Amino acid sequence: MRSLHSRMLMVASLVLASFLGLSALALDQAFRKSMEEAVRERLQDQIYALLGAAGEDSRGRMRLPEALPDPRLSNPDSGLYAQVEGEKGSYSWKSFSLVGRNMEFLNPQPAGQLSFERSRFEDGEYYVIAFGVLWEDFSGGEWDYTLSIAQSTRGITAQVEAFRARLFYWLGGVALLLLVTQGLVLGWGLRPLRKAEADLHRIETGKAERIDGRYPRELQGLIDKINLLLRNSKTSRDRYRHSLGDLAHSLKTPLSVLKGASGSTDRERLGQIVDEEVSRMDDIVQYQLKRAAASGVSHPGISVPVRPIAQRLMDALVKVYGDGETSCRIEIDGAVTFPGDGGDLMEILGNLMDNAFKYGYRNVRVGASWQTDSNAGIVKRLRISVEDDGPGVPEADREEILNRGVRRDQRIPGQGIGLSVTREIVSLYGGSLSIQDSDLGGTAVIVTL
């Protein structure tokens, strides 16, 4: 029962069996009722036939003839029997079919009343109908008579049993057909899950890197999340591999310089070289650590408020760059959150705000808000903007300065890695980074996630 297919098949089979069982019971009861109603009508017709065949004696009183309309009443042990009694018990008549039988099924009825019931006798069950009649003789006297007819239930029981057998075969066949169809439908409905399992096995064995193909709407969100996790895992793995390669490659030059200077006799010059290269190696290590530390993973249900981090960065940067004239405005609502790791948000805002303070003149503005994508309908995107009133970046240079190590203004200290690190983190979240003109007069860096 750990299989969804088995669970659904079992539950559906129980529901189907219950439905068909109740249907069979209802049909059986309805058929039995209809048969009994038909017997009642036929026996009532027999009563009227007896009345129609009845004659009169010399005094005008009712008498039944020897020859009867239904030949079964004249054949012994035919299963159809009749009795008439009246004139306060002084007149009694029985059909010839009762010869040799001791059956008393007469149930006296008032004139005009009819009764119908099922009674048991020594040789079985019978349907019995009785009808009361008021007969007027030649002298004007009125006499009560009761006409009663009994019919064996064997024929009706045989028909009911035959109907039950046919009903069992038909409903059994329908149930079997429905079970087979149900199994096929469930197999078809659960096929996407088996396909997803096969795709995951292909990923596990290294034959694929992601789950491809179209899936039902109910599964597509899960498949997208799995692909996102796979992509982030691969990206993180590649990032660490590349970071190690870049670190090794970047350290080759400082190590070569140190190795070449190790034989120098000028201790002052050697100390200067060691300080410079160690500082350079420290910058390289810090840069690679920043790159490797970026998670780029959005955890469902986890988010980080943007404004407190921006405020904390602003307070620190004002102390570093503040000359009493630079002002920073934070235009971020307290409800705006970053759907990811707080360290990534700190790195993004830290790099962009550091550049804005570094290259701006007097004004820096930081904004963040959720926006609805008009093309995607309900998709919401986080837009972060950092603007300054500095000299700005020419449009021709905007793509180039996003590369690692590229700096436009060599007069200002820096390594030219902040924007490249920021763009890499943003790309890990599937977002974009663009450089535009700010209405403050300088540069506006726009991050969309």
List, for residues 373-421, the tens digit of each pLDDT value: 666 545 678 899 999 888 888 887 777 777 754 555 544 444 456 787 7
Torsion of CA 311, 315, 318, 320, to 10 degrees: -130
pLDDT given at position 297 = 55
Q: Which two tokens stand for residue 16?
A: 């189907």
Query: Domain residues of the chain, as ranges?
Result: 4-159, 217-293, 304-448
The CA-atom distances, in angstroms, between 405 and each of 241, 284, 359, 419 are 20, 11, 17, 9
pLDDT given at position 374 = 61
**Calpha distance 293→295 (Å, rounded):** 6
pLDDT given at position 291 = 60
Q: Cβ neighbours of residue 422 under 8 Å, at least 6 residues apart?
A: 347, 348, 351, 352, 433, 447
pLDDT given at position 196 = 84
CB 210 within 8 A of CB 227: yes
Sort residue 82 into left (φ over 0), alpha (ψ -120 to 50) or beta: beta
**Residues 438, 402, 293, 413, CA torsion sign:** negative
Nearest to 440 by CA among 371, 367, 381, 354: 367
pLDDT given at position 411 = 46
pLDDT given at position 255 = 75
pLDDT given at position 344 = 82
* CATH 3.30.565.10 fits domain 304-448: yes
Nearest to 394 by CA among 447, 436, 428, 358: 436
Q: Which two tokens stand for residue 442?
A: 């300088």
- DSSP string computed for 138-186: TTS-EEEEEEEEEEESHHHHHHHHHHHHHHHHHHHHHHHHHHHHHHHHH
pLDDT given at position 366 = 93
The stretches in the chain having pLDDT less than 50 are: 377, 405, 410-415
pLDDT given at position 351 = 84
**In DSSP terms, which residues pair with 433 in a beta bridge?**
447
pLDDT given at position 410 = 47
Q: Cβ neighbours of residue 295 under 8 Å, at least 6 residues apart?
A: 232, 236, 340, 341, 343, 344, 428
Q: Which two tokens stand for residue 84?
A: 């008439």
